[in-house]
Structure 1
Amino acid sequence: MLPSTIELREADQPVVHRLPRAVAVGLAAANIATIAPTFGADEYRVSGVRKVGVVRIAGHTVWLKPKTPVRRLFAMLGYARAGSALWTEDDFGFEEDDELVPALAHAFVRQASRALAGGPLRGYVTREDALPLVRGRWRIGDQLTRRGGQTLPVEVSFDDYVEDIAENQVLLTAATRLLRLPGVPADVLGVLRRIVRVLDGVSVIPVGAPVPVVRPNRRNARYSSALALASLVLSGSSVEQRAGSVVASGFLVDMWSVFEDFVSAALREAFKPYGGELVSQYASTLDVEGTVKIAPDLVWVVEGVVRACIDVKYKVEKHGQYPNADLYQMAAYCRRFGLEEGWLVYAAGSGFAESVRIVEGPKVVRKYVALDADGAGLLAQSKRFVARVARSVCPVLPLR
């Protein structure tokens, strides 16, 4: 009998697993992994697993485990979103070997409970209504068009001091989302239900609707950590995929997106002392006619001139080598922008760098980010890398 709980690990290399056919179909249909049947009964070759989290398919729970320790994963997620500082161990409150979803659920209820300890925030919300008396501003135009000259009810708009504000809506929606996810620990479920009760009367953000942008201020400061975690809950790709009679649902995070967002945020911060601007997805063309579009991941622009080009790659080596296509791509970028050096950043290795000299072309430096480092170590690697890039452009720049 095939297991009801299945574990897959994030990987590029194919691995043979015994899977129910419905699970194999669901994984492929939701684009979670590449699935190929083998000659064995219920055996499939699984590759290209770049999403981590948990998903339920046809009654089976599939755990997708990251190569990166959960604590490092949260550090990268947190920095890419918060920008200014990494969350501390006290913010998390989970063990090193926890899975992503249980860790996220524990961290969320810990911070949400702290945020709501003094009661939910209240704020002013502008409402429009038809009332038996005038409250706030009388909307004369609506009164004439909707009421045909009748005096009652009165079309008005007014500011109401309520709990149904964006901050509480985000927390409540994250709590209800976690309650529906597979893999949330039983001790967390009770706390999530209490959070929902405390926020009774607050609106849940509809599925597919944009999440309100909450600007940090003195009034909502006690919500800051809880809102950051709620944002992670709501940003995880919600899988609702139907392939025939197979339905997949769960919470997944794209590791390539996590890595690229973290590197972009860390490098943008590290470049600040050197001036200029680090631009993401810099749009340009490769040919004279302007028909071949290019968009390097990151370029450092100083006084309107591209001084450095960086591409971020979340991939691992295959057979001891990294894809030559990356070198071709970067060589083309360097030729386009007149650069003598290009930079490729990979999520693998032990933090070292190596250079490849293109014949009659630029030097391409491949930098390997050691993801087994802690959050501070990851940032230190970024600062050293930026210092090297900046000095390669201008050798007289001081060490930072």
Structure 2
Amino acid sequence: MLPSTIELREADQPVVHRLPRAVAVGLASANIATVAPTLGADEYRVSGVRKVGVVRIAGHTVWLKPKTPVRRLFAMLGYARAGSAIWTEDDFGFEEDEDLVPALAHAFVRQASRALAGGPLRGYVRREDALPLVRGRWRIGDQLTRRGGQPLPVEVSFDDYVEDIAENQVLLSAATRLLRLPGVPADVLGALRRIVRVLDGVSVISVGAPEPVVRPDRRNARYSSALALASLVLSGSSVEQRAGAVVASGFLVDMWSVFEDFVSAALREAFKPYGGVLVSQYQSTLDVEGTVKIAPDLVWLVDGEVRACIDVKYKVEKHGQYPNADLYQMAAYCRRLGLGDGHLVYAAGESEARQIEVIDGPLINQHALDLSRSMAAVAQQLSSFVRQGLRSESV
């Protein structure tokens, strides 16, 4: 009998698993992994797993486990979202070996409970209504068009001091989504229900609707960590993919996106002392006619001149080496941009950082970041790479 709970680990290399056919179809159709049948009954070769979290497919719960320790993953997520270390690795209160969704649920409950300890925030919300008396501003135009000149009810607009504001809507919506996710620990469910009760009367954000913008200020400062976690819940819990009768739903995070966002944010901090500007997805063309588009992940511009080119790659190297295609791509970027050096930044695996000197071409530096270290140490590694490598090119 095939298991109802299935574990897959983040990896590029193919691994054979016994899976129900519906799960195999769901993984492929939701673009969670590459799945190919083998000659064995109910056996599939699974590769390219770069999403982590938990997903429910056709009644089966599939855990997608990250290679990176969960503490490090959360720290990367926080750094990528804020451009600095908004969470330390001691902010969450969970163990190193926990899975992503239980860890996220524990962290959210902990921070949301702290945020709401003094009661929900209140704020002024602009409302329009028809009332039996004048309150706020009388909307004369609407009174004439909607009421045909009748004096009552009165069409008015006014500011109401309520709890149904964006901050509370985000927290409530995240708590509601977590209650529906597979893999949320039983000891967290009660705390999530308490949060929902505290925010009774607040509107829930519909699935698929944009998350309201919350601008940080002194008034909502106590909500800051809880809102960051809530935003993470809302961004990852909108997974739903239908393939015939197969429905996949759950919470998933793209590891390549987390890594690239973290590296980009950390590099922006590292470049600040040297002036210029770090531009993402710098648009240019490779050919004379301008039909072949190129867009390096990051370029450093000083007085409008490209001084450095960086591509960020979250890949598992094959046979101890990083993909040659990355070298070809960077060599083309450097040739087009007139640079003598290019930089590739990887999540470290078996290969070490090295330099590739291209014949009649640029020197390509491959940097390997060790994600088993603290995020502060990884950010320092990136600062050192900027200081030792790129600074020398600008002087």
Tell me whether the two structures share a fold, i.e. TM-score over 0.5: yes
Give the alignment of 1:63-212 within 5 angstroms.
Answer: 63-212=63-212
Q: Is residue 77–residue 258 contact of structure 1 (8 Å, CA) maintained in 2?
A: yes
Unaligned runs of 5+ in 2: none
Distance in 2 between the 1:341 and 1:30 partners? 39
Q: Is residue 350–residue 370 contact of structure 1 (8 Å, CA) maintained in 2?
A: no
Pairwise CA RMSD: 1.2
Distance in 2 between the 1:123 and 1:385 partners? 46
Letter in 1 for 2:226: A
Distance in 2 between the 1:155 and 1:351 partners? 70
Report SS of the residue matched to 1:227.
helix
Residue aligning to 1:61:
61
Residue aligning to 1:301:
301
Distance in 2 between the 1:393 and 1:350 partners? 29
Report SS of the residue matched to 2:238.
strand
Report SS of the residue matched to 2:135.
coil
Residue aligning to 1:213:
213
Q: What is the count of residue pairs matched by the alignment?
A: 395
Instruction: Report the Cα offset of residue 393 of structure 1.
Output: 1.2
Instruction: Report the Cα offset of residue 40 of structure 1.
Output: 0.5
Distance in 1 between the 2:294 and 2:233 partners? 33
Report SS of the residue matched to 1:174.
helix
Report SS of the residue matched to 2:17.
strand
Change (3 A) 1:43 1:221: same
Distance in 1 between the 2:200 and 2:246 partners? 34
Q: Is residue 125–residue 165 contact of structure 2 (8 Å, CA) maintained in 1?
A: yes
Residue aligning to 2:370:
370
Instruction: Report the Cα offset of residue 44 of structure 1.
Output: 0.3
TM-score (norm 2): 0.98
Give the alignment of 1:261-272 within 5 angstroms.
Answer: 261-272=261-272
Report SS of the residue matched to 1:234.
helix
Q: Is residue 351–residue 370 contact of structure 1 (8 Å, CA) maintained in 2?
A: no
Instruction: Report the Cα offset of residue 167 of structure 1.
Output: 0.3
Instruction: Report the Cα offset of residue 288 of structure 1.
Output: 2.1
Moved over 4 A (4+): none
Residue aligning to 1:36:
36
Residue aligning to 1:241:
241
Distance in 1 between the 2:97 and 2:262 partners? 22
1:329 and 2:329 equivalent?
A: yes
Q: Is residue 125–residue 159 contact of structure 2 (8 Å, CA) maintained in 1?
A: yes
Report SS of the residue matched to 2:114.
helix
Q: Deviations over 1:104-141 (max 9, x none)?
A: 00000000000000000000000011111111111112
Unaligned runs of 5+ in 1: none
Q: Is residue 276–residue 301 contact of structure 1 (8 Å, CA) maintained in 2?
A: yes
Give the alignment of 1:343-362 within 5 angstroms.
Answer: 343-349=343-349, 352-362=352-362
Letter in 2 for 1:380: Q
Instruction: Report the Cα offset of residue 352 of structure 1.
Output: 4.8
Residue aligning to 2:21:
21
Instruction: Report the Cα offset of residue 237 of structure 1.
Output: 5.2
Distance in 2 between the 1:261 and 1:92 partners? 21
Q: Deviations over 1:82-106 (max 9, x none)?
A: 2232412442011110000000000
Instruction: Report the Cα offset of residue 267 of structure 1.
Output: 0.3
Change (3 A) 1:349 1:384: farther
Distance in 1 between the 2:321 and 2:187 partners? 46
Q: Is residue 357–residue 363 contact of structure 1 (8 Å, CA) maintained in 2?
A: yes
Which range moves more in the overlay, 55-64 or 134-143? Answer: 134-143
Letter in 1 for 2:103: A
